[in-house]
Structure 1
Amino acid sequence: MRTVAAITAIIVGTVMAIAGVITWVVVSTTLEDQKITVSDDASCAAGDGVNGPISAYCQADIINQHTLDITGGKTYAELDREDPNRAVAMDSAFLQASLFTSVVAFGVAGMAFVLGIVLTLIGLALREPVRAARHSGT
């Protein structure tokens, strides 16, 4: 039973780690393909290409600041329906949500990778006593 648990942990852990890496690469490549550059007036990562969690967060943050400047500090929901800036606020909310979704995706990918490595190590640790017991004849 211990051998089955060890092998299962190793297989599932390896799959999780690989899936985490693949997800990170896909999200990063997809963002990079958009050729977005963090605004020069951003408080972080200014001028960097958006291809990772930090640059995506920084760009979403500066989009919010620019939008609040345009709308006089009001969000989409706070603007009157007739306000011509409502479309800008709506586009801004969409862009921010998309960028924040990629930040979350990076987090999930990183978590899957780390948990996969831990699970693989647990599987290897479970397997070691089995090997030692077989070699000692017990």
Structure 2
Amino acid sequence: MSTTGSTTNTSHRTLVRWSGIVAIVAGVVMIVAGAVTWATVSSQLSAQEITVSEDSTMLPGDDVDGPFSAYAQAQIIDHHALEATGGKTYAQLEQDDPLRVTAMNASFLRASLFTSVVAYGVAALVVGLGALAVFFGSVTTVVTGRRGTGSAAGAQAGRDSHPQEPLLAA
């Protein structure tokens, strides 16, 4: 009976188990970071006390404190700016046209709101990836914990009783 193979399998199992634990910890950190980011963006938007315009086709009268209300407000700002400028964008207006300031302010407001929408998307992505890391880390940790008895004799006995089944796929 060779102990080198058992030691190698045990060290591989240990490495995979620790990788699973690291994935779980990283996943939890990602979930917390994503949730904190989401909450921070929500509180900052809410502090501005913005309400979606009543003539918006989406969420009229809603407080702007989430991704959908921020998007809705950005869309209605664009609509109002185009109405005010006769359908022209900032770049289409003459340089000395006083409506250029209106178009520019609308553009800045929309960009800020879209930045919030993107921040929400990134936060949701990070939470989702964190959940996947926790899931796969948990599966890895559970699977490596159940394989074999942890002793060289037990590992050899397991191989003898199930010769086609490897202890741990590398």
Answer whether TM exceeds 0.5 for this pair: yes
| Alignment length (residue pairs) | 138
Instruction: Tell me the SS of whatever aligns to 2:147.
Output: helix
RMSD of the TM alignment (CA)? 1.1
Which protein has greater RCO, CA pairs closer than 8 Å, 6+ apart?
1
- The aligned counterpart of 1:20 is 34
- The aligned counterpart of 2:51 is 37
Shift of 1:3: 1.4
CA offsets, 1:46-97, max 9 Å, x none?
Answer: 0000000000000000000000000000001111011110001000000000
Shift of 1:134: 5.2
- The aligned counterpart of 1:87 is 101
Could you tell me the TM-score, scaled by structure 1's length?
Answer: 0.96
Could you tell me the TM-score, scaled by structure 2's length?
Answer: 0.79
- The aligned counterpart of 1:49 is 63
Where do 4+ consecutive residues of structure 1 move more than 6 Å? none
Asked which structure has the greater CA Rg, the reply is 2
Shift of 1:5: 1.0
- The aligned counterpart of 1:7 is 21
Q: Which runs of 5+ in 1 are unaligned?
A: none
Name the aligned partner's letter for residue 25 of structure 2.
Answer: I
Q: Which runs of 5+ in 2 are unaligned?
A: 1-14, 156-170
Identity, in percent, stands at: 46
Shift of 1:135: 4.7
- The aligned counterpart of 1:130 is 144
In the aligned structure 1, how far is the partner of 2:72 from the partner of 2:81?
Answer: 14
